[in-house]
Each structure stands twice: as structure tokens, then as C-alpha cells.
Amino acid sequence: MSGMWGNKLKFSIFGESHGVGIGITIDGLPAGVEINMEDVMKEMARRAPGKSNLSTARKETDAPEILSGFFEGKTTGTPLCAVIRNADMHSKDYGKLKDLVRPGHADYPGFIKYNGFNDYRGGGHFSGRITAPLVFAGAICKQILEAKGIIIGAHVKSIGKIQDKSFDQIELNKELLNKLKCNELPLILTEKEDEMRNTILEARKDGDSIGGTIECTVIGINPGIGNPFFDSVESTLAHLMFSVPAVKGIEFGKGFLMSELRGSECNDEYYYEGDKIRTYTNNNGGITGGITNGMPILFKACIKPTPSISKKQRTIDIAEKKDSELVIEGRHDPCIVQRAIPVIESVTAIGILDLILNA
């Protein structure tokens, strides 16, 4: 197994959901970068569990303890390592899951991959809890990018069949993106909040869960970032999106809708705005040929329903090699979409910064 990713920047994650702690090592950060830890903690709080009845009741402060690479408020240029101690584990809730594999989870493939030595408690290393160190790393990358005038933001595009308005393809600004970060359910159409909230709570009442989509943007990025083919902006971001548990799809710009259109409807025509080159539309999501064209990067990520549900499900007993049934107990999110937003933003920041440093 490799828990590492990156080119110019290298990230290595470690830990399990119910282990002593989880963490990350970042190699390749420039020396002398000032890090605002108050802003880092704000990002961590956006992802942290236990804030309302829309998420799991597990209480974790998600406070990163920096072990190396940071001195007197600035990066040293050496590997920056941080650990987040786990505190609120109810491992007894997972006792019977040693042999009963959970549908929709990685229990079975993990058992096969690691010959039965995998930590199954709370999903172990497969758990969405491991995204907390990614948010820590992403918060640092966001600060470096913001110093370059690059801002990343996202909102809930949908919960179930309830849709929020899409980002404007052309006119996006820092004020809107910062405003969205202040809300548990970041929406452009705030009047949709009650309907979405009730949909999540209805799923919880039924012992079930529900999914949705997240729309993310990167503004202020210059043209010419990225590469054709294997290190394209799309392939880099898609790699990182699919490294986030629960992500099952991604589309850039108009995405799959392009399959229904003609070239004349998809092409983004150019014009001069003073010395800057812009496009009248942004159907390609700010990326053509794998390289940024100076328009906002736009993409949507599909988040599947949380697989831990309290409805009775059919499964197998892997020890006795027979069919069985399972009702999952414990504390689980009825919807992960709202907590996944800072994760999506963070891995986007990680990918964009690596592309810039590797240019």
C-alpha cells in the first residue's frame, strides 16, 4: 500500500479511525511560508463531526499537533508532519463487524487485500476520518495560493433530488466564496436550506442515508498551468477527488451534458478585455488541453450516500463462510455532503499548488 501522493509536493497520510491518531507529512513546502493557524483551525472545524443532527454524534476537536517543519510561525522547508489524536472512539460498536462485512464499505476488499489484518473499527484506514489530515494540508496550501491571488470555494449543489443554483460560469468573486464557508449547508439559493435539511433528517429517521453533489471552483488562476495528457489539470484533480472516500463521480464544466451538444454549443469563444484574454462562455470549466485558460476552474463531484445505515441488510459472515444479515449500530452521518465540502476544497488546493510548483 502507498499512502503517498505528489510531484513537487509530496503528501503521506497515516492512521486509522479508531487508532491512537491520524496524520500527514508534507514534503516540499517552500521555507519561510507564514501559516495562520487560526485560519487552519477554522478549516478543520468545517469538517469536524458532532456539530449538529445532520452529522455523526462523534465528538473530535481535530486539533493538529505539528511535530516538525514549523518554527516560529513559519515553515522551515523540511518535512512538515502533523498528528491529530483520536479521542471519542466507541470501538465496541464494531465488535461484531470483525466477521460481518458491511455493504458499501471496504471491509471485504480490505480483508482480501490485507489478508485479514486490516483494522475494521470505524473503517480503519478506509474511513472518511482520514480526510481530516487532508484538510490540514489543504488549509496550508490554500494560504499559499491565496497569497498568489488564487481562491478556492465550493457549495452544496444538491442533496438527493433537491438542487441548488450553479455557480455563474464567468463572474465569481472572493466575497461569495468566503460567505459560503460560514454556513453548515453552503448554498447560493439559501431558501433551499430547510428542504435539504429536512431531507437529510428524514433519511436519518428512516435509518437510512442520502447523497448529493458538490460544486467547486478555483478563481484567480493564471492561464498555462498544467500539462497535456497524464499531468493535466483534470487528471490531477480527478486523481485527488477519487482519493476521497465517498466520491463516485466528477465532471468539469458542462461535463456529461456535452455529450448531447454540438461543438458550436461547447466551444468557448475568445475575446480581449484590455490586455487580458477571456472567453464568452466557460463550458470547459476553465481547462482546455489539460491546461488552465485563465477562466474559473469549475467542476462537480458526486458524493454517495453514507454506507453505514441502521436498516437490516444482507451480507456474509466471512469467518463462517455463510450468508447473514446485519444491522449497523453506532454513530454515523445520515449525509456526508456538507462535511465533504472542505475536503474537496482542500484536495483541490493540494493539486493546484503542486501543479504550480511543478510548472
The C-alpha angle with vertex 73 and arms to 68 and 74, in degrees rounded to 5, equals 70
Q: Locate all alpha helices (DSSP H) within the chain, ordered by sequence.
A: 37-47, 107-113, 131-146, 174-180, 193-205, 233-241, 263-266, 337-357
- Residue 305, annotated ligand binder? yes
214, 241 Cβ separation under 8 angstroms: no
Q: Which residue, among 146, 351, 349, has the nearest Cα to 234 in the 3D structure? A: 351
331, 308 Cβ separation under 8 angstroms: no
- Residue 223, annotated ligand binder? no
- For residue 305, the 8-state DSSP code is P
114 Ramachandran zone, left/alpha/beta (phi>0; psi -120 to 50): alpha
51 CB burial (10 A radius; 0-12, 13-18, 19+): middle
- Residue 209, annotated ligand binder? no
- Residue 307, annotated ligand binder? yes
- Residue 90, annotated ligand binder? no
- Residue 64, annotated ligand binder? no
- Residue 68, annotated ligand binder? no
266, 250 Cβ separation under 8 angstroms: no
Tell me how far CA of residue 16 lies from CA of 23, 53, 133, 154, 222, in angstroms.
9, 24, 12, 27, 38
Q: How far apart are CA 158 and CA 193, in angstroms?
A: 11
C-alpha gyration radius of the chain? 21
Q: How far apart are CA 355 and CA 280, in angstroms?
A: 26
- Residue 30, annotated ligand binder? no
The SS3 of residue 298 is strand
Q: How far apart are CA 226 and CA 52, in angstroms?
A: 39
The DSSP string of 243-260 is TSTTEEEEEETTGGGGGG
- Residue 126, annotated ligand binder? yes
- Residue 2, annotated ligand binder? no
- Residue 179, annotated ligand binder? no
The C-alpha angle with vertex 341 and arms to 352 and 51, in degrees rounded to 5, equals 140
Binding residues for NADP(+): 47
Binding residues: 47, 125-127, 289, 304-308, 331
Binding residues for FMN: 125-127, 289, 304-308, 331
